[in-house]
Amino acid sequence: MRMMLIAMPMMKPISHNPNKPTLLESPTWTIRPTSADDTGDVTSLGDSAPAHPELPLTRLSTILSSLHFHIATGNDFVFSFNSPSPTHLTTSIIMAVPAYSDIAKSANDLLNKDFYHINATTLEFKDTAPNGVAFKVTGKSSHEKATSAAFEGKYTDKPTAISTYICIPYPIPIPIPIPIFNPFCVFCFLSVTLACSFYLTRVTLTQTWNTANVLDTKIEVKDSLAKGLKLEGLLNYLPATAAKGAKFNLHFQQPGFNGRAFFDLLKGPTANVDAVVGHEGFLAGASAGYDVNKAALTAYSAAVGYAHPEYNASLTASDNLSVFAAAYYHKVNSQVEAGAKATWNSKTGNTVGLELAGKYRIDPVSFAKVKVNDRGIAAVAYNVLLRQGVTLGLGGSFDTQKLDQASHKLGASFTFEG
């Protein structure tokens, strides 16, 4: 069984920016199986077309993998591939390898995120200025009547790119109508274009000032020196005591690999590195800490896991391989999620801590969560989008073994987005 590419030469004008010329919509490309003795005669949309030789699938994939049409007006053409039957083409889902701290992220988020009883009241305001600067103000009131707040500003510089295009004519024997009012399309339709883009800068600057009078600055440079490499510089300053801090982080992600390195330049200095490798959903990672002054390994841990879009499981050994945790997450359907986590500390005894959690999406704008642990502490939460930009969260934590005592906690969260 071989494959053949058929061009359906049915093109119509599509609307674009008024300042740019109208272009023709790119043709629909369809892949269909052909037998070994198929001559490849094609009839498209009722119009006769001459015979054309077959294009092997391996050769086709090689061509299409580097195909990029670029026109002087700045418009790109995008190809859509339609398979007549799901059995003819195999689709595989490739998941990115997570960072070491995110191997059990799905289960941890289900167990810990969006429970609002931790603080009595939480207020959060988000907005973005016309120049692209994002602002966020967060205020919290604890159950002990302590208050805290932080103001954050974040600006991401748009990447400046220099693109180089090399057009190589490729004789693809497919009938394609020639538009008469856009001569650029003729050259692009019949050429394979190799594109190389060089990003000069892509910088994100984040500054935070909180009620403890701590000034934090974070500078991120992503995909500038190499694809998948992110550099971070973190500076903090406490005016009251003139205390300073400086950290430098590296994040590097490639298919099948995710590595990070964290350096504290003024304390130690110390270094913490971790790495995760993955293949077909299976994950394995390790983390280690090193103190330069002591010339000693200060901490190490390891983890293994399996990730799938609908479920994942992980086993981690932290605190110098003395604390073991097993986590499982399952997305039952579009409305129901469930997860569990068991933790055992080999230094404290044989007691195993267990947590169970579930999430139910009531409708597109609201959901409810519940969790319970082995100590009988149950927590519930409800989140609803009241209107566009206004979200309300309500939560409570209850000690089921001491219902007659004042050990329960209630909390509320309000989020406003501009």
Instruction: Tell me the pLDDT tens digit for each residue of 261-294.
Output: 999 999 889 999 999 999 999 999 999 999 999 8
CA 272, CA 19: separation in Å to the nearest integer? 52
* Residue 182 · residue 23 · CB < 8 Å: yes
Per-residue pLDDT at 58: 40
CA 235, CA 215: separation in Å to the nearest integer? 8
Question: Phi and psi (nearest 5°) for 316?
Answer: -120, 150
- Structure-block tokens of residue 278: 């993955």
* Residue 61 · residue 79 · CB < 8 Å: no
* Helix extents (H) in 176-292: 183-189
- Structure-block tokens of residue 403: 């219902």
CA 270, CA 21: separation in Å to the nearest integer? 58
Per-residue pLDDT at 159: 67
Residue 63's SS3 state is: helix
Nearest to 287 by CA among 101, 96, 98: 101
Q: Could you count the other beta carbons within 10 Å of the beta carbon of residue 206?
A: 18
> In sequence order, what are the residues at sequence separation of 6 or more whose Cβ sits closer than 8 angstroms to the Cβ of residue 298?
270, 289, 290, 291
Per-residue pLDDT at 349: 81
CA 50, CA 53: separation in Å to the nearest integer? 10
* Residue 208 · residue 236 · CB < 8 Å: no
Q: Three-state secondary structure along 391-414?
A: EEEEEEEEECCCCCCCCCEEEEEE
- Is the pTM of the predicted complex or chain greater than 0.95? no
Angstrom CA distances, 154 to 207, 211, 267, stand at 7, 18, 27
Nearest to 81 by CA among 7, 10, 191, 170: 7
Break the chain into its structural domains and give their ranges.
Answer: 2-91+161-198, 100-155+274-417
Per-residue pLDDT at 403: 85
> In sequence order, what are the residues at sequence separation of 6 or more whose Cβ sits closer than 8 angstroms to the Cβ of residue 282?
304, 305, 306
> In sequence order, what are the residues at sequence separation of 6 or more whose Cβ sits closer than 8 angstroms to the Cβ of residue 46?
none
CA 142, CA 172: separation in Å to the nearest integer? 68
CA 171, CA 53: separation in Å to the nearest integer? 12
Nearest to 384 by CA among 409, 414, 417: 414
Question: Phi and psi (nearest 5°) for 102?
Answer: -105, 10
Per-residue pLDDT at 161: 55
Nearest to 374 by CA among 395, 400, 393: 400
CA 357, CA 359: separation in Å to the nearest integer? 7
Please state the separation of Cα 323 from the chain's center in Å. Answer: 29
Q: In which element (H, E) is residue 62 found?
A: helix 57-65
Per-residue pLDDT at 76: 35
Mean pLDDT of the chain: 77
CA 39, CA 328: separation in Å to the nearest integer? 54
Question: Phi and psi (nearest 5°) for 140?
Answer: -135, 145
Angstrom CA distances, 133 to 156, 157, 158, 276, stand at 7, 10, 12, 33
Domain 100-155+274-417 fold: Porin (2.40.160)
* Residue 312 · residue 337 · CB < 8 Å: no
Given a cut of 50, the residues of the chain with pLDDT beneath it are 1-92, 170-195, 197
Q: In which element (H, E) is residue 58 found?
A: helix 57-65
Nearest to 380 by CA among 367, 362, 364, 363: 367
8-state DSSP, 95: P
Per-residue pLDDT at 53: 39
